[in-house]
Structure 1
Amino acid sequence: MRRKWNFKMEIIGLVLALLWLAPFYLMFVNSFKTKREIFTSTIALPGLWNFENYIEAYERLDFLRTLFNSLFITVTSVLLIVLFSAMGAYALSRAKSKFSSVFFYLFVAAMLIPFQSVMIPLVTVFGRFEMLNQAGLIFMYIGFGASLSIFLYHGALNNISRSLDEAATIDGANRWQVFWHIIFPMLKPITVTVAILNIIWIWNDYLLPSLVINQPGKETIPLKMFFFFGEYTKQWHLAMAGLTLAIVPVIIFYFFAQRAIIKGVSDGAIK
């Protein structure tokens, strides 16, 4: 009975894996086809593997510069979100007062506000301060990413005993040293979770960069990718090649960081 059950689960797992891999297969095989061939045979392998799509997509995307822009914005934003959110959550969790509770619930309530309701006044205000650039975009990401991050850190910090803070204080450590040398290392599992959630969001975001970045040469990959889709023509063959190039850095990152990611997520699940 158990063997039959295991066999059924393996079949279900295989079907789910194929469904998950199907979009990647379509993207990869169509990146080597001509525009006409894509609409003629979307699923079939290309009759002639056309590598010129990658060369043209690489040049049209200005790939190295665009990749650097995405990496700079994503890495800087995530580091600052982790830094400020961890410190803010620590202050709110340790200062038990009405004010700390009010501030915490304000952060939680901010997660319920849809971005579309504030995007026009937000862009208007930032435009007056001449911050419609990469620095302004990073500042916005910190603001929008802090709510969920503080909420996650706050929950993790509530499970860390205050006696650790008191013991370190008795030993002569100040509040800054207590946080960085004792508390923050214990937050590694939730830090990995916070970093992954924000990396996925910021790396793939199109709407906010499209509103904020108006300088040529400063576009992110999702924003630059939109240039393949004009009002009257859609260059699917170049878009597929560009998307394949765009996911290569993500695959490389996961290949080197998979142990830390899996360990951090599993440790967070156990806690």
Structure 2
Amino acid sequence: MKSSNKNNIFLGLLGIILGILWLSPFYMMVANSFKTKKEIFQSPLKLPEGFHLDNYRQAAENLNFGHTFLNSLIITVVSVLIIIIFSSMAAYALSRVKSKVSTVIFFVFVAAMLIPFQAVMIPLVSLFGKLGMLNRPGIIFLYLGFGSSLSIFLYHGTINTLPKSLDEAAIIDGCNRFQVFWYIIFPILKPITVTVAILNTIWIWNDYLLPSLVINQTGKETIPLKMFFFFGEYTKQWHLALAGLTLAIIPVIIFYFIAQKHIIKGITAGSVK
């Protein structure tokens, strides 16, 4: 019993230490976002002496936050919805149609997760430039391609746990394959769908490299692109950058906390065959 109590105390202390380490970057970001540039360099770890809300106003103006936020929102929401629709349908087809071809296709998607974007970005961007797709539809199409592998993998694992008798019963009742998926299977996939949505939302919302190559045009920038407004060759406006960064992550944090209860359930379901 004593040994068990010691283990619980040790795990509790370890959890507290890890929690503090995990939260420390957020503390520094939020605390320093209320300071002047001079205060940040003098005491980056201290609480702000006065809350300079003007940092947020100026950051929002410099970022053209309303327009930039809308750009990021459109790209993120549309990309995530398309990834969910196509990935879930592809995973259902690959799971239910058992053949050598479907197995090979599935493993190709899995293997694609090992290929870094940097390895293909130059020929890919060159090709999309020739096709006239260095624009918003082009980047959404690219996000579909790069986000499908992991999404299909997660959906495939979950669908494999669902009995085929569900499909057979629906077909007997007069449903076609399309109706079976959308009215029977897809609603059951809600936990893993939320997991896929969260993972892709965080990735797309915070992505800098792909938008910098595809839509780096005035008026079409996403928030990560626009954030570089605060970092010049000779000066870095850390007080405004941290305020802008705080504004940028608030929507993702809200979305995460709303949907977090489905994450563990979804990942667990997708890992069981």
TM range (shorter): over 0.9
Deviation at 1:151, TM superposition (A): 1.4
Structure 1 residue runs of 4 or more that deviate by more than 6 Å after TM superposition: none
Give 1:1-271 correspondences, 5 Å limit.
1=2, 2-255=4-257, 257-258=258-259, 261-266=260-265, 268-269=267-268
**Cα distance in structure 2, aligned partners of 1:118 and 1:73:** 21
**Cα distance in structure 2, aligned partners of 1:47 and 1:104:** 56
Provide TM-score, normalisation by structure 2.
Answer: 0.92
Deviation at 1:264, TM superposition (A): 4.9
Percent of matched pairs sharing the same residue: 66
| Aligned-residue CA RMSD (Å) | 1.6
**Cα distance in structure 1, aligned partners of 2:247 and 2:185:** 39
**Cα distance in structure 1, aligned partners of 2:58 and 2:169:** 62
Which string of whole-angstrom CA distances, capped at 9 and with x for unpartnered residues, describes residues 238-262 of structure 1?
A: 111111111222233234x24xx31
> What one-letter code is carried by the residue in structure 2 that aligns with 1:265?
I
Moved more, 118-127 or 8-17: 8-17
Gaps of 5+ in 1: none
Q: For residues 115 and 264 of structure 1, do their structure 2 counterparts lie closer, same or farther at Cα, with a shift above 3 Å needed? A: closer
> What one-letter code is carried by the residue in structure 1 that aligns with 2:80?
V
> What one-letter code is carried by the residue in structure 2 that aligns with 1:73?
I
**Cα distance in structure 1, aligned partners of 2:49 and 2:196:** 44
Aligned residues: 268
1:32–1:50 Cα contact (<8 Å) kept: yes
Deviation at 1:190, TM superposition (A): 1.5
**Cα distance in structure 1, aligned partners of 2:104 and 2:253:** 41
Q: For residues 146 and 207 of structure 1, do their structure 2 counterparts lie closer, same or farther at Cα, with a shift above 3 Å needed? A: same
Provide TM-score, normalisation by structure 1.
Answer: 0.93
Q: For residues 83 and 6 of structure 1, do their structure 2 counterparts lie closer, same or farther at Cα, with a shift above 3 Å needed? A: same
1:192–1:265 Cα contact (<8 Å) kept: no
